[in-house]
Structures are given as structure tokens and as C-alpha cells.
A and B are shown apart, each in its own frame.
Chain A
Amino acid sequence: MTVRDFALGLGARGGTLVIRNGRVVDPANGVDAVQDVLIVDGVVKQAGPKLAAPEGATVIDATGKVVCPGFIDVHVHLREPGLEYKETVATGTRAAAAGGFTAVCAMANTTPVNDNRAVTDYILAKAQIEGVVRVFPIGAVTRGLEGEALSEMAELAEAGCVGYSDDGKPVMNSALYRRAMEYSLPFGAPVISHAECAQLSKGGAMNEGIVSTELGIPGTPAAAEDIMVARDIILAETTAAHVHIAHLSTSGSVRLVRDAKARGVHVTAEVTPHHLVLTEDAVRTYDPNAKMNPPLRSKHDTEAVLEGLADGTIDCVATDHAPHAMSEKEGEFDQAAFGIVGLETAVPLLLDRLVRPGTLPLGTMVARLTTDPARLFNLPGGSLAPGRPGDITILDLERELRIEPTRFHSKSRNTPFAGWTVTGAPWMTIVNGHVIATAAD
């Protein structure tokens, strides 16, 4: 995908355009039909058959393509401020645009940590000046991610944070986490759980199981995740707060969330593309790009999270886009950093590995990337209803793509999917009525 030079902020007036003849898949409104979409001044005006376009509107012929509300990734590490050698707002949002995403939530584990308004303001200013997709900051739950005192959660919400997370670290202090959930109640923003018992996972570099035993790599048991998911469900039940489970990866967690939802607990969850398409067997080559946290799990877990995604136990797909410099992702496996980039591979992987074989209906996939994450985080997009932002992702289900990290817009290249050939990819990304990325040019 080619990303066009376009800054979301700085007085960019919304564009006026009409997208003709595409298969519109808009789960929020129960639409799956060939229609036109009209965007006027950056806002969805109307979706329907054979719309009249205003004079001077840009016309996009989407015949044979799939037109969706802009995809939203609620779990991205943009790394700015402080870790610009890995990623910046400029490069990360371009990676998002190229990958078909029109909005991202930016995690708080920057340097300094996004635990106060000054950092939130900085991220949003960067997004206005240099970003090409919408950026919604996530504030820290605790000051400095240290797990000892609450961050200024009210002011973070006022500044524009849409959720709270110490992502990368669990909040091990249950009393403090309970208080965070209670304190979050007035803001309507979820507390996001990085569910990992730090004692059980200590030293672990991959999933604990037969593969870790064979490879001699210290394992992290599924129990490290399940215990914290259980705890956080119980705390959500205690406080009536909304807890969102980040990167859910185990069959046990799927079961816990399913049971809790059935009881009416306000718990939601996300899963990453890599936990859907890879298992712990990918670690057998000791490739540091197969190292992430939570780790790639067993086949049994992969099947369970896929089932959970299909039946709605898991609400959305989020990439956990975690850029790292080459020097942090080569060499010894146990010493490599955790995480992989995901923005530019997520949509092709989901289309090729889940939708194409018929495992996941296209409409479900689109829902899990649009209306569902928008609902969870109270974001403006996710729907083509009149008045919604003019953010559109257009897919080409027949486009063949070889995943080549050297062509990524991200600053980092840490992916285990290099060289994979996939069918189905984003074709055009539109933000605020402006075309910001295309496969065509």
C-alpha cells in the first residue's frame, strides 16, 4: 500500500467523495449489499443504492471490492514519546493506514509513561501534526506503570484517553486494581487488563508445554493468564466497572470470559491475529520473532480463541503492534524483546487464514474490527450510519500479497510472517473523507 502525505489535523477539511458499486459490509447497521457510500465534508452522509454525488466529489469505483467502516485497532504501541527508534506517531499511523486501519489506540508504556495530561497532550499534538489516522491514547492505570499509585485518571479522560492500561505489565496489587476500576466508573472508559501473574510467568519466554520442554526454554503457564483473568472478572463484578482483557490467549480465559458474560459481568476481550494463526510450534526454530507476551499457545488454545472470536465471547481483534529495533529481535531467543509488529499484516492474515477457508464469516471479521471495538471504547467510528466519521476501509479479497517487511511503513520489521503469501488485503484506506492509502499506486 502506498500512503499519501496527509495530516489529519492542521485544518484538513473533510473531503467529499462517493464510493460506487462496492459490496458494503457494515455490521453495525446489518448491511451486506452492493451499494454506494457518500461522504460529505468528512462525514458519512448516506449509504445506499445509486446515490447522487454532489458536484466536484471524488468518485471511487469499488466494483468487486468490499467497503467497510474504517478498521479500528485498540491495541497499538506507537512508542512515542521516548522510544522513537522503534516507532513514531508518524510511522506507526502510516503503518496503520497501509494495513487498512483508520484509528488506533496508543498504549501508555512510552518514556515518559502516559500517566499524566502533558504526555496525552503531546501524543495528540503529534497525531494532529504528523499522524494520518485517528489516534486515541490509552492512559496508564498506575503512575509510571509501577503498580503502586493511581495515575490521574480523571484528567487523563478529560485530555482524551479512552481507556486505562499498564499494558506490558500486570497490576499485581488487587486492592489497587479494584480502586482503579471503581475510580474509572464516571468516565465510561474501560480498565484494560494485561492479565499475567508476574510470579507464575517469571523467567518465562514461551508457552509452557511439550515444546518448551523439548526446546529447554523456560515456560509461562496458561495459568499465569487464567488466574488474572479470573481475578479481574471478580473485581469487575465487585465494582460494576468495565474491564477489557487485552490479548486473550488461552482456552481457560475464553471459558472464564464466556461464563462471566453469561452472568452479566461487564467484561470484554480482544485477541491478536498471531494468537489466531500461530501456535507455540513457531518457536521451534528459536526465531525471536516468535517471541511475544502472552506467548504463542498450544493448538488447543488457538482453536478456543478462534471459537471465542466467532461466537462473540471475544469482542474484537487487536494487533498488539509492538515494534522493536532489529538489535532487540535477533540473537538469543531468551534475551530478545517480546512482541511483533502487526498493523501491516493483520488484515491480510485474517482474510487469508480465517475468512478465505470459511472459518470466520467476513461479516464477523468486519464487526470485530469496526462496530465492536468502537462500542467497547466509545469511539466515534465503526459504522456507516449518517453522521459517523468518513473513515472507510476497502478490501480486495482477491489481491495476492507477499508479506515483505522491507516494504513496511512501520519503522520496525519484527514479524514472523515474512515471506508468507496471502490472498486478500486492504485496497484503500480513507480517513475523514480523504484517501490516505491505496494498493493501486
Chain B
Amino acid sequence: MAWTRKDLLTMRELEPAEIVTLVDTADSLQEIATRDIKKVPALRGKTVVNLFYEASTRTRTSFEIAGKWLSADVINFSASGSSAAKGESFLDTAKNIEAMSPDVVVVRHSSAGAAELLARELKCSIVNAGDGAHEHPTQALLDLLTIREKKGHFEGLSVAIVGDIAHSRVARSNIHGMRKLGMTVTVAGPPTLIPPFIHELGVKVSYRLEEAIRDVDVIMMLRVQHERMSGGLIPSVREYSRYWGLTLDKLRAHARPDVLIMHPGPVNRGVELSPEVADGPYSVILDQVTKGVAVRMGVLFLLAGSKGAEA
């Protein structure tokens, strides 16, 4: 399917065929990582600005490498040590950056809707690299590429997403993407971390880890943030880890032998994942990171490079 959108903002708004186009494009670009000279001219003369208002290692680096391998000029902007720290509004900063004619702005912001705001106000392409607890579409796409590579298909697969669903943009993007591609999704966690009416998105809800991970093809563990305790949502890390941490014992007792363990990172080792699971044979966590570069190449290519350029 031909790509026609100016922006990539959410998984919610995408058609299933568009998701497959994104995954296929990323898949075809994976090979660049194996080359000795990791550079193709697809985005030569194009400018990509990484506009990051939240700390990020993996996502920002991933977009930067993706842009550079495609020969784009990549500029990193982070809120600290910039005009934002001097009190300039987000919108003003973005408009100033637009005045320098970038082709793509990749935005990460703690406010839900930040990417939609820029898409409405700016003429260049916007990629949502995570907006508050709303969406993180490139994370969902790299998860989908990883799953397809390991399982060969999407239709009929079942996934358990475990942890802080309420505050997770990764969960929301994956729920939309997976549902559109015919997968079954269960969200699981203590009820205080499950947002209200989530079942209306077509997912099952479970309050027990052992039940949620039974017979699923994929277990996606989410990071639990320490501030959730100060907010009174969970009593302690100790208790969370005891009831919601995935250990080898629980995995062997309740999950299928061919299950995939995923995590968007960064992992709290010993909290949501025991080290043996994070580093064990079920884990595809580092594959996810590798696919991340391919997915971001695919996204940048479709948004900025498809007019006449060939990878």
C-alpha cells in the first residue's frame, strides 16, 4: 500500500495495510545494518530534527542512527540547556525550528497530544516518538517487526502486556496495532495500574500474572516507575516484584515453552523481570532494539524519502 500520510502520530489512526507497509519497509531496510558501509543515499539533503523534551537514550539514538544511515542530516535538540530551559514555550520552540526548514521533526514530550499539536501547527512531517501516556508508534512497530520475524505471522497470535498499563504509551500503541492485525491482547497488572474502561479497546483484563501469561505467544513486560509508589498506586517495589515480577520459575510453570519475552526498556532488573529471564533464551529484548533502527529508517524513508529516492 502506498504511503500517503504527512505524519506518523498514532497507531490508532492507521489502517492495517498501512501498518504492514511500515513493517515491510522496515524489514527491507534491516539489511543495511549488516553492511560494512552502513550508508545509503535515500535521505541525502534531508534534515531530521530530534526534538526531545524527555530524557531518552534508546529512542533518540535509534532515530539518529536511522537518519544517518539514510544520509539525512540529523540534529538533536533536547529541552535542557536550550531555549526551553529559558522559558520558551513548546510551540514557539517548534515554530522556530520549523523556520529552519527541517523535513521531519521527531518529537518526544511528556504531554499527551504533543505530536498532534505539532502536526497541526507545522508544515513539515512529524513523527511521534512518545507523547505522555498516549502513544509511541515506532515502539509498537518495532515490536511488531520483532514478533513477525520470530513467529512468522500476526493473525491469531496472543499477547499479554503486563505492568503499568495506565501510564504506558507503549501499551496503548501496541494494543491498537496488535488488534488491527488480528492478535489477541490481554493486559495485566494490579487494578490500580489498569486504566478505566480499557476493555473497550478490545482487550481482556487480568489481575493475575499466572493467568495472564498462560498459553500466550508473547509476554510484554512493562517498566514500573518508582513514582507509582509515591502516588500510592502500589504499596512497595518488593510487593510488586513478588506478585508481578516475571521469574524463570513462573515462566516455566505457567507459560508456553516457545513464548517470547519482550520489554521496551529500560529494564528494572529484579523488579518486573528477573535477570535470568531478561537475559535468557526466551528474551528478544535486544532484537527489539536492533529492529528499532530499521523501523525508524522505514518511517523516515516513507515520510521524507519516497518522492523519487530509492534506498
Interface residues of A (CB under 8 A from B): 208-210, 212-219, 221, 285-286, 327, 330-335
> 14 A–B contact pairs at CB < 8 A?
A208-B196, A210-B197, A213-B198, A286-B113, A331-B89, A331-B91, A332-B109, A332-B113, A332-B114, A332-B117, A333-B112, A333-B113, A333-B117, A334-B132
CA distance A332 to B117 in the complex (A): 7
Chain A residues whose C-beta falls within 8 Å of the C-beta of B114 in the assembled complex: 332
Chain B residues whose C-beta falls within 8 Å of the C-beta of A221 in the assembled complex: 196
CA distance A219 to B90 in the complex (A): 23
Contacting pair B112 A334 (CB below 8 A)? yes
Chain B residues whose C-beta falls within 8 Å of the C-beta of A210 in the assembled complex: 196-197, 200-201
**B114 to chain A: closest CB distance in Å?**
6
**A295 to chain B: closest CB distance in Å?**
14
Indicate whether A215 sits within 8 Å of B113 (C-beta atoms), given known contacts A327-B89, A332-B90. yes
Instruction: Please tell me if B12 contacts chain A, counting CB pairs below 8 Å.
Output: yes
Contacting pair B116 A285 (CB below 8 A)? yes
Chain A residues whose C-beta falls within 8 Å of the C-beta of B201 in the assembled complex: 210, 213-214
Contacting pair A216 B196 (CB below 8 A)? no
Chain B residues whose C-beta falls within 8 Å of the C-beta of A332 in the assembled complex: 90, 109, 111, 113-114, 117
Chain A residues whose C-beta falls within 8 Å of the C-beta of B89 in the assembled complex: 327, 331
Chain B residues whose C-beta falls within 8 Å of the C-beta of A330 in the assembled complex: 91
Name A283's closest neighbour in chain B (CB-CB).
B113
CA distance A216 to B11 in the complex (A): 13
Contacting pair B111 A335 (CB below 8 A)? yes
Indicate whether A216 sits within 8 Å of B116 (C-beta atoms), given known contacts A210-B197, A332-B111. no
Q: Chain B: how many interface residues by the 8 Å CB criterion?
A: 24
Interface residues of B (CB under 8 A from A): 12, 89-91, 109, 111-114, 116-117, 131-135, 169, 172, 195-198, 200-201
CA distance A219 to B132 in the complex (A): 13
Contacting pair B111 A333 (CB below 8 A)? yes
Contacting pair A219 B112 (CB below 8 A)? no
> Given A209, A214, A331, A335, which contacts B172 in the complex, CB threshold below 8 Å?
A214
Indicate whether A286 sits within 8 Å of B196 (C-beta atoms), given known contacts A214-B12, A331-B89, A331-B91. no
Contacting pair B196 A217 (CB below 8 A)? no
Name B136's closest neighbour in chain A (CB-CB).
A216
Name A332's closest neighbour in chain B (CB-CB).
B111
**B194 to chain A: closest CB distance in Å?**
9
CA distance A331 to B91 in the complex (A): 6
Chain A residues whose C-beta falls within 8 Å of the C-beta of B131 in the assembled complex: 216
Contacting pair A331 B112 (CB below 8 A)? no
CA distance A334 to B131 in the complex (A): 11
Chain A residues whose C-beta falls within 8 Å of the C-beta of B117 in the assembled complex: 286, 331-333
Contacting pair A331 B134 (CB below 8 A)? no
Contacting pair A331 B90 (CB below 8 A)? yes
Indicate whether A213 sits within 8 Å of B197 (C-beta atoms), given known contacts A331-B91, A331-B117. yes
Chain B residues whose C-beta falls within 8 Å of the C-beta of A333 in the assembled complex: 111-113, 117
> Given B91, B172, B197, which contacts A216 in the complex, CB threshold below 8 Å?
B172
Name A202's closest neighbour in chain B (CB-CB).
B231
CA distance A286 to B91 in the complex (A): 14
CA distance A157 to B203 in the complex (A): 56
Chain B residues whose C-beta falls within 8 Å of the C-beta of A327 in the assembled complex: 89
CA distance A208 to B197 in the complex (A): 9
Indicate whether A216 sits within 8 Å of B135 (C-beta atoms), given known contacts A210-B200, A285-B116, A330-B91. yes
Contacting pair B133 A216 (CB below 8 A)? yes
Indicate whether A217 sits within 8 Å of B197 (C-beta atoms), given known contacts A331-B90, A334-B132. no
CA distance A94 to B90 in the complex (A): 34
> Given A208, A213, A219, A286, which contacts B116 in the complex, CB threshold below 8 Å?
A286
Report which residue of B89, B91, B134, B195 has the largest number of chain A beta carbons within 10 angstroms of its beta carbon. B195
CA distance A208 to B198 in the complex (A): 12
**A19 to chain B: closest CB distance in Å?**
47
CA distance A332 to B112 in the complex (A): 8
| Other contacts beyond A210-B196, A212-B196, A214-B172: 18, CB < 8 A | A208-B196, A210-B197, A213-B198, A214-B201, A215-B113, A216-B131, A216-B132, A216-B169, A217-B132, A217-B133, A217-B134, A286-B113, A330-B91, A331-B90, A332-B117, A333-B113, A334-B113, A334-B132
CA distance A212 to B131 in the complex (A): 14
Chain B residues whose C-beta falls within 8 Å of the C-beta of A334 in the assembled complex: 111-113, 132
**A283 to chain B: closest CB distance in Å?**
9
Chain B residues whose C-beta falls within 8 Å of the C-beta of A335 in the assembled complex: 111
CA distance A139 to B197 in the complex (A): 40
CA distance A210 to B109 in the complex (A): 22
**B230 to chain A: closest CB distance in Å?**
12
CA distance A335 to B109 in the complex (A): 12
Chain B residues whose C-beta falls within 8 Å of the C-beta of A213 in the assembled complex: 195-198, 200-201
**A333 to chain B: closest CB distance in Å?**
5
**A248 to chain B: closest CB distance in Å?**
22
> Given A209, A215, A331, which contacts B196 in the complex, CB threshold below 8 Å?
A209
**B143 to chain A: closest CB distance in Å?**
18
CA distance A333 to B132 in the complex (A): 11
CA distance A215 to B90 in the complex (A): 19
Query: Top 5 A-B pairs ranked by shortest CB distance?
Result: A286-B113, A216-B134, A216-B133, A332-B111, A210-B197
